[in-house]
């Protein structure tokens, strides 16, 4: 089979980590007889530098014409002083919205070999954990009315959150479906004691729950969820939440797996296309030094193989290769902690994973 992949390398460490993931896909392709064709497009700061805008039409059209999209990361200090509408991050929100990617799956799983890298106490991680955060991605406060105005105390800024029943229902359904394929436990995270949007969220999720009697569904306030994640991560299977809460909780969840450099994501809509990206940012402080952890991006292409192309065997194999190298003690700098082992460079970690892929 031949698959067309739009390649949005982006800024900072984006090019290095996507190059690693491309190598992994090419290796999988060679082994299993698939052809992955990559079509590079500009996004974020590099697009601003070349074209003056963060998300050129050519990029959107290129993504729409492809079978799937691989994204590195966007942003950096160079573009931090631009007005909100022209910032690199705007391109990320723009492409998610343009491709209709309202479901963001962010799995936070502890690899057995990384128990020691988790900041949690040994007894909390001994049995591991495997959480799927289902984050709403094209609505809420990220996309609501915003601006500047004069208020009681003079100049003020405002951002608003709005969620329709339609938007809550479709993300809720995605979460219940995910829960059905896993341990059938779903926690819906909101702030219904304060926010109107959260009360509608809760009501809508409860209505959906009636359609999924096999799923044990409960509610949790977001402040409590943030606490419970570090108190006892094993209590969670699937978490469904809004755009902003999901952004925050997924960073927290990533850290307890050992490093934010480990967390992959799939952004899905009503087609199989999807966009696949690590949840971390462009890490401008370490860009171009070949020291980034490529695993989050490599695990993101495993998700691409699984969800966009239905290539389950191939996806499993990539995940096993990551598991193998970690079990063999391979660590990039972010995973090292206080031990004196010498960290692998990004290219070295990639080479290890490629070798594991060949030998599995």
Evaluated on CA atoms 244, 248, 250, 251, the torsion sign reads positive
Tokens of 36: 């992955």
Torsion angle (degrees, nearest 10) of CA 91, 278, 294, 239: 170
Q: Is the CB of residue 88 less than 8 Å from the CB of residue 44?
A: yes
67 an active-site residue? no
Binding piece for Mg ion, criterion CB under 5 A, among 8-16, 100-108, 148-156, 240-248: 240-248
Residues 62-101 that bind ligand IPM (CB under 6 A): 89, 92
Q: Is 161 in the site for ligand IPM (CB under 6 A)?
A: no
- Name which position in 19, 161, 219, 247 contacts Mg ion (CB under 5 A): 247
Binding mask 24-53 for Mg ion (x = CB under 5 A): ------------------------------
DSSP string, 151-213: ETTEEEEEE-----HHHHHHHHHHHHHHHHTTTSEEEEEE-TTT-HHHHHHHHHHHHHHTT-T
Q: Is the CB of residue 226 less than 8 Å from the CB of residue 256?
A: no
CA distance 208 to 313: 32
223 an active-site residue? yes
Binding piece for Mg ion, criterion CB under 5 A, among 83-91, 136-144, 159-167, 246-254: 246-254
| Closer by beta carbon to ligand IPM, 101 or else 322 | 101
Query: How far is CA 115 from its chain centroid?
Result: 21
Minimum Å gap between C-beta 31 and ligand IPM is: 31
Minimum Å gap between C-beta 266 and Mg ion is: 15
Q: Is the CB of residue 290 less than 8 Å from the CB of residue 343?
A: no
90 an active-site residue? no
In the complex, residue closest to Mg ion by CB: 247
- Name which position in 279, 301, 311, 353 contacts ligand IPM (CB under 6 A): 279
Residue entry with tokens 């057995």? 112
Q: Is 16 in the site for ligand IPM (CB under 6 A)?
A: no
285 an active-site residue? no
247 an active-site residue? yes
Q: Is 247 in the site for ligand IPM (CB under 6 A)?
A: yes
Q: Name every residue whose Cβ is closer than 8 Å to that of residue 159 and which is 6 or more positions away in sequence.
A: 141, 144, 145, 146
| Closer by beta carbon to Mg ion, 167 or else 247 | 247
Evaluated on CA atoms 27, 31, 37, 43, the torsion sign reads negative
Minimum Å gap between C-beta 135 and Mg ion is: 9
User: Which one of 41, 67, 102, 142 is the catalytic residue?
Assistant: 142
Q: Interface residues with Mg ion (CB under 5 A)?
A: 247
The catalytic residues are 142, 191, 223, 247, 251
Q: Interface residues with ligand IPM (CB under 6 A)?
A: 89, 92, 247, 279, 281
């Amino acid at each position: 089979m031949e698959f067309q992949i739009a390649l949005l390398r982006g800024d900072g460490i984006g090019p290095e980590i996507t190059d690693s993931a491309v190598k992994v896909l090419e290796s999988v392709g060679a082994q299993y007889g698939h052809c992955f064709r990559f079509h590079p497009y500009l996004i974020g700061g590099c697009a601003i530098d070349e074209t003056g805008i963060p998300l050129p039409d050519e990029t959107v059209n290129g993504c729409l014409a492809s079978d799937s999209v691989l994204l590195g990361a966007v942003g950096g200090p160079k573009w931090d002083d631009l007005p909100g509408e022209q910032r690199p991050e705007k391109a990320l929100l723009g492409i998610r919205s343009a491709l209709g990617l309202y479901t963001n799956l962010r799995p936070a799983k502890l690899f057995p070999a990384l128990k020691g890298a988790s900041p949690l106490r040994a007894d909390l991680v001994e049995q591991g954990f495997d959480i799927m955060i289902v984050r709403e991605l094209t609505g809420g406060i990220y996309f609501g009315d915003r601006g500047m105005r004069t208020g009681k105390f003079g100049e003020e800024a405002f951002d608003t959150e709005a969620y329709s029943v339609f938007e809550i229902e479709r993300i809720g359904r995605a979460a219940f479906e995910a829960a059905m394929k896993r341990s059938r436990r779903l926690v819906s995270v909101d702030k219904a004691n304060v926010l109107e949007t959260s009360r509608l969220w809760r009501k809508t999720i409860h209505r959906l729950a009636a359609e999924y009697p096999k799923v044990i569904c409960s509610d949790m306030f977001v402040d409590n969820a943030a606490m419970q994640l570090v108190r006892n991560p094993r209590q969670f299977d699937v978490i469904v939440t809004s755009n902003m809460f999901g952004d925050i909780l997924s960073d927290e969840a990533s850290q307890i797996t050992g490093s934010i450099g480990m967390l992959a994501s799939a952004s899905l809509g009503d087609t199989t296309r999807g966009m696949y990206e690590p949840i971390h940012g462009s890490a401008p402080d370490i860009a171009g030094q070949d020291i980034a952890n490529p695993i989050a991006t490599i695990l993101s292409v495993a998700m691409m193989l699984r969800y966009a192309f239905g290539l389950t065997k191939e996806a499993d194999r990539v995940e096993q290769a990551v598991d193998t190298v970690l079990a063999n003690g391979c660590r990039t700098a972010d995973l090292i902690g206080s031990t004196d082992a010498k960290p692998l460079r990004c290219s070295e970690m990639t080479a290890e994973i490629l070798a594991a892929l060949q030998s599995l």
